[in-house]
Amino acid sequence: MKGSLTVIGFFLLGVLLGYIHCLPEGMLGNDLTSWILYALMFQVGISIGCDKKLKEILHSITPKLLLVPLATIGGTLAFSALAACFLSQWSVWNCLAVGSGFAYYSLSSLLITELLTPKAGPALAAELGTIALMANIMREIMALLLAPLLVRYFGKLAPICAGGATTMDTTLPVITQYAGKELVFVALFHGILVDLSVPFFVSLFCAF
Domain count across the chain: 1
Is residue 8 assigned to a domain?
no
pTM of the predicted protein model:
0.76
| pLDDT tens-digit series, residues 116-129 | 998 888 889 999 99
Range 7-15 average pLDDT: 67
Is residue 194 assigned to a domain?
yes
Is residue 17 assigned to a domain?
no
**pLDDT score recorded for residue 89:** 87
The confidence band for 190, taking pLDDT boundaries of 50, 70 and 90, is very high
User: Can you say how many angstroms the Cα of residue 184 is from the centroid of all Cα atoms in its chain?
Assistant: 20
**pLDDT score recorded for residue 101:** 95
Report the percentage of the chain scoring pLDDT > 90: 44
Provide the H-helix boundaries in 84-183. Answer: 92-99, 105-120, 122-154, 158-163, 172-179
Is residue 108 assigned to a domain?
yes
Is residue 186 assigned to a domain?
yes
Q: Do 140 and 103 form a contact (C-beta atoms < 8 A)?
A: yes
Is residue 16 assigned to a domain?
no
Q: Which domain holds residue 154?
A: 29-206
| pLDDT tens-digit series, residues 59-112 | 666 788 889 999 999 999 999 999 999 988 899 999 999 999 999 988 898 899
Asked whether residue 39 carries a pLDDT value surpassing 90, the answer given is no
A 10 A CB-CB count for 167 gives 33
Q: Give CA torsion, residues 190, 194, 195, 199, to 10 deg.
A: 170
The confidence band for 188, taking pLDDT boundaries of 50, 70 and 90, is confident
